[in-house]
Structure 1
Amino acid sequence: MYTISEVAKLLDVSTHTLRYYEKENIIIPDRNENKERLYSDMHLKWLKFVMKLKQTQMPIAKIREYARLFEEGEHTTQARLELLENHLLSIQNQLETLASTEKMLEEKINKYREFINQSKSETVK
C-alpha cells in the first residue's frame, strides 16, 4: 500500500490532483485507522489509465462516467466499450490533425529557411 505522497511521486502528479480525482469519484482510495488515504497496486494501475485518458484530452466528465460504469458492474460493459471506442476515434482525429499540421509547419519552416539562405547568398554577392 502507498500513501498519497508516495503515489504522487510515483506518478509525477500533485497530491491535489489525487484528491481532485477522489472528489470527482474517479478513484476511491482505501483508508487506514487514522483515515489516511492508502493506494494499492490496482489503484496505481487505474490512475495510470486515467492519466492516459486525460493526456489524450478525454474530459473529466467522461472519465468520471467510465469510472461510474465500471463500479456498476459487468452489465455496463457495452456502455464502457462504446465510451472507449468514441475516445479512440477522437484520438485518431487528433492524430490526423497533428499530422496535417506537422506537414504544414514543415512546409512553412522550409520556405523560411529557403528565404533566409537565399537572402544570405544575395548579401554575399
Structure 2
Amino acid sequence: MYSISQVAEKLNIKPHTLRYYEQEGILESNRNHAGVRNYTEQQVKWLRFVLKLRETHMPVSSIQEYVKLLQEGEHTANKRLQLLEDHRASIQQQIRELQDTEQMLEKKVSTYKDMIGNEVHLSISSYIK
C-alpha cells in the first residue's frame, strides 16, 4: 500500500491531483481506520494509465465515461474499445500536426543557420582582404 504522498512522488504529481481524480470518480482509494488514503499497486497502475490519457488530451469527461463503462461490466467492451480507438485516432492526428510543425521549424532553423553562417564567412573574408 502507498500513501497519497508516496503515490504523488512516485508519479511526479501533486496530492491534490489524486484527490481530484477521486472526487471525479476516476480513482478509488482505500482508507485506513483514521480515514487516511492508501493506494494499491493496481490503483497506481490505473492512475498511470489515466495520466497518459490526460497527457494526450483526453477530456476528464471521456475518462469518466470509460470508468462508467468499465464498472458496467464485460458487455461494454465494444464501447470501451471504440472510445480508446477514437482517442488513438486523435493522438495520431496530433502527431501528424506536430510533425508538420517540426518540418516548418526545421526549415526556419536551417534558414537562420545558413544566414548566420554566411555572415560569419563574410566577416572573415572582409578581414582577409
Q: Same fold (TM over 0.5)?
A: yes
Partner residue, 1:35: 35
Partner residue, 2:77: 77
Partner residue, 1:119: 119
Alignment of 1:1-125 (within 5 A): 1-124=1-124, 125=126
- Structure 2, unaligned stretches of length 5 or more? none
Shift of 1:8: 0.8
SS at match of 1:67: helix
Number of aligned residues: 125
| In 1, Cα distance between equivalents of 2:6 and 2:39 | 9
How does the TM-score come out when normalised to structure 2?
Answer: 0.92
Moved over 2 A (4+): none
Shift of 1:120: 2.0
| In 1, Cα distance between equivalents of 2:63 and 2:34 | 29
Shift of 1:69: 1.2
| In 1, Cα distance between equivalents of 2:92 and 2:98 | 10
Provide the identity percentage.
Answer: 46
